């Protein structure tokens, strides 16, 4: 007999916890259910200790969960049983606990979409919207699978952007550390020598050396200031994401990648929604909520209003969206004429994603030499200023 730790809801809906001895985890689940409890989690003490050091639920795990639900439902498994299988899963303790709460949510007769929004807050907004759409049209498995594909595509985009900026960021960090250490340990040594000689050195050299001497004497203040600056910048970025994105959109290279990302997200969300039986207005609403840029979302609201007033989708997009291009407009018009709007939109999304991958690769190839050049210029400038100071100490005869 093994001892398990459990959390459960009693018949009043109150959460209770305790220990229960049973032959297996499945047997413990059944025995607790027979006692009138609704088990949320059942773990061994070892797993409970390991949970303290486990990571939270990742996007990858959430994507796998959506795919697992889609597979079970497409295989004919009822939704309640599919959620129960997640609850009994050992993939992650927190996932099992949330699945248990989601199961209880469904037992109260509430919809799956609201349960996902309540208990899986990390999921993007379009997931619950697609779930609503799948529930209404009877294609829940398809919409869950499409939601997982969208999440995977978003993760790949984020990964590509991080990869593009990782190497320049590392170079910048190394360069900053080198310059910081030079100001703390190397440059101040020359300050003592120059003070003893009383030589008249160039102004640039004097500024550099005096800065190094001050930083060495006040290194605690300098480090505290750096840490405070980093924390302040992070806070400002989080509070002003819209402004940061607007600035990034104007940067060479990065702006092009972000514009393609916006178009790809919009086109793919529209295509997925239409392929699963959504009306055009429903798809427009869903795609508008899925986009990340505030300015782009405002333009899409204009597209939605234009379509509602009877305007053609291609014309409304060309009129209201500043980053539209002829390819997308042609595909929208072709999709309307041929009745294959969903396929044309998915084709456009794939095209933008391919362009984005190429632009990201090009951005990486440009960013690396630029970062090296900037690092070389700064370090070289410091070395030259020191050399100029040293040559001022002596008279050289040629």
In this structure, the answer to whether residues 163 and 289 fall within a common structural domain is yes
Residue 302 domain-assigned (yes or no) = yes
Cα dihedral 53, 54, 58, 60 sign: positive
Residue 59 domain-assigned (yes or no) = no
pLDDT reported for residue 51: 46
pLDDT reported for residue 61: 86
State whether residue 355 is helix, strand or coil: helix
In this structure, the answer to whether residues 221 and 112 fall within a common structural domain is no
Residue 63 domain-assigned (yes or no) = no
Is residue 325 scored above 60 in pLDDT? Answer: yes
Bridging pattern class, strands 2-9 and 38-43: antiparallel
**Biggest CA pair distance of the chain:** 101
In this structure, the answer to whether residues 255 and 312 fall within a common structural domain is yes
* More confident position, 384 or 243: 384
For residue 240, which phi and psi values (nearest 5 degrees)?
A: -130, 50
Q: How many domains does the chain have?
A: 3
**d(C-alpha 20, C-alpha 358), whole Å:** 57
In this structure, the answer to whether residues 96 and 220 fall within a common structural domain is no
pLDDT reported for residue 224: 92
Bridging pattern class, strands 38-43 and 15-22: unpaired
In this structure, the answer to whether residues 112 and 192 fall within a common structural domain is no
CB 110 within 8 A of CB 103: no
Q: Which of 115, 138, 161 is the last residue of a domain?
A: 138
| Concatenated DSSP letters of 73-108 | HHTT--HHHHHHHHHT--S-HHHHHHHHHHHHHHHT
Least confident of 195-209, 212-226, 272-286, 342-356: 195-209
Nearest CA among 295, 318, 296 for reference residue 307? 318
pLDDT reported for residue 344: 92
Mean pLDDT, residues 102-126: 86
Angle, alpha carbons 229-234-240 (nearest 5°) = 120
Least confident of 56-60, 156-160, 215-219, 261-265: 156-160
Mean pLDDT, residues 35-42: 73
DSSP-derived letter for residue 185 is I
Highest mean pLDDT among 55-64, 92-101, 104-113: 104-113
**d(C-alpha 281, C-alpha 99), whole Å:** 32
Angle, alpha carbons 321-327-331 (nearest 5°) = 95
Residue 121 domain-assigned (yes or no) = yes
Residue 337 domain-assigned (yes or no) = yes
Residue 240 domain-assigned (yes or no) = yes
Is residue 12 scored above 90 in pLDDT? Answer: no
Mean pLDDT, residues 364-376: 81
| Average pLDDT over all residues of the chain | 81
For residue 16, which phi and psi values (nearest 5 degrees)?
A: -130, 160
Assign residue 247 the CATH number of its domain: 1.20.81.30
pLDDT reported for residue 60: 85
For residue 312, which phi and psi values (nearest 5 degrees)?
A: -65, 145
% of the chain exceeding 90 in pLDDT: 3
Is residue 183 scored above 70 in pLDDT? Answer: yes
Is residue 396 scored above 50 in pLDDT? Answer: no
pLDDT reported for residue 243: 81
**d(C-alpha 29, C-alpha 10), whole Å:** 14
Query: In the structure encoding, which two tokens stand for residue 81, read together?
Result: 């049983």
In this structure, the answer to whether residues 274 and 326 fall within a common structural domain is yes
In this structure, the answer to whether residues 22 and 35 fall within a common structural domain is yes
Query: Residue 49 — pLDDT band, cuts 50, 70, 90?
Result: very low
At 120-179, the pLDDT tens digits run 888 887 788 788 888 877 888 888 888 888 788 778 777 777 776 777 788 888 888 888
In this structure, the answer to whether residues 10 and 102 fall within a common structural domain is no
Q: What is this structure's pTM? A: 0.65
At 337-358, the pLDDT tens digits run 888 998 999 899 889 888 887 8
pLDDT reported for residue 152: 86
* More confident position, 254 or 383: 383
At 215-232, the pLDDT tens digits run 888 989 989 998 999 899
Mean pLDDT, residues 304-321: 88
In this structure, the answer to whether residues 12 and 96 fall within a common structural domain is no
Q: At what angle do helices 93-107 and 79-87 cross, to 10 degrees?
A: 150
For residue 41, which phi and psi values (nearest 5 degrees)?
A: -140, 145
CB 272 within 8 A of CB 145: no
Q: Which domain holds residue 75?
A: 71-138
- Neighbouring-strand partners of residue 21: 3
Residue 40 domain-assigned (yes or no) = yes
Residue 58 domain-assigned (yes or no) = no
Query: Residue 397 — pLDDT band, cuts 50, 70, 90?
Result: very low
CB 15 within 8 A of CB 8: yes
In this structure, the answer to whether residues 89 and 231 fall within a common structural domain is no
CB 212 within 8 A of CB 385: no
Q: Which of 90, 123, 138 is the last residue of a domain?
A: 138
In this structure, the answer to whether residues 180 and 277 fall within a common structural domain is yes
Q: Which of 85, 118, 138 is the last residue of a domain?
A: 138
pLDDT reported for residue 337: 87
In this structure, the answer to whether residues 332 and 281 fall within a common structural domain is yes
CB 97 within 8 A of CB 83: no
């Amino acid at each position: 007999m093994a001892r398990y730790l459990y959390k459960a809801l009693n018949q009043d809906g109150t959460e209770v916890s305790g220990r229960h001895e049973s032959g297996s985890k499945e047997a413990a689940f059944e025995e607790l259910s027979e006692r009138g409890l609704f088990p949320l989690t059942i773990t061994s003490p070892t797993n409970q200790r390991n949970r303290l050091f486990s990571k939270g639920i990742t996007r990858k795990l959430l994507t796998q969960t959506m795919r697992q639900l889609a597979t079970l439902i497409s295989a004919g498994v009822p939704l309640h049983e599919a959620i129960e299988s997640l609850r009994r899963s050992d993939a992650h303790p927190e996932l099992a606990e949330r699945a248990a709460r989601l199961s209880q949510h469904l037992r109260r007769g509430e919809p799956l979409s609201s349960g996902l929004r309540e208990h899986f807050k990390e999921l993007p907004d379009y997931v619950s919207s697609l779930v609503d759409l799948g529930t209404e049209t009877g294609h829940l498995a398809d919409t869950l699978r499409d939601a997982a594909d969208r999440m995977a595509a978003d993760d790949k985009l984020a990964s590509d952007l991080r990869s593009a900026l990782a190497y320049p960021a590392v170079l910048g960090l190394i360069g900053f550390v080198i310059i910081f250490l030079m100001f703390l340990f190397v440059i101040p040594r020359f300050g003592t020598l120059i003070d003893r000689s009383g030589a008249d050195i160039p102004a640039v050299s004097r500024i550099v050396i005096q800065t190094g001497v001050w930083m060495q004497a006040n290194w605690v203040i300098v480090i505290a200031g750096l840490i405070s600056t980093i924390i302040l910048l992070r806070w400002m970025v989080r509070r002003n994401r819209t402004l940061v994105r607007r600035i990034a959109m104007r940067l060479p290279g990065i702006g092009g990648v972000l514009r393609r990302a916006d178009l790809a997200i919009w086109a793919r969300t529209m295509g997925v929604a239409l392929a699963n039986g959504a009306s055009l207005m429903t798809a427009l609403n869903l795609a508008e909520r899925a986009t990340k840029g505030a300015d782009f979302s405002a333009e899409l609201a204009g597209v939605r209003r234009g379509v509602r007033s009877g305007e053609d989708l291609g014309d409304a997009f060309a009129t209201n969206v500043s980053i539209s291009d002829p390819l997308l407009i042609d595909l929208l018009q072709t999709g309307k004429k041929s009745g294959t709007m969903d396929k044309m939109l998915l084709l456009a999304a794939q095209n933008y994603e391919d362009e984005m991958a190429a632009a990201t690769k090009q951005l990486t190839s440009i960013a690396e030499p630029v970062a090296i050049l900037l690092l070389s210029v700064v370090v070289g400038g410091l070395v030259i200023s020191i050399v100029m100071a040293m040559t001022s100490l002596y008279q050289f005869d040629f």
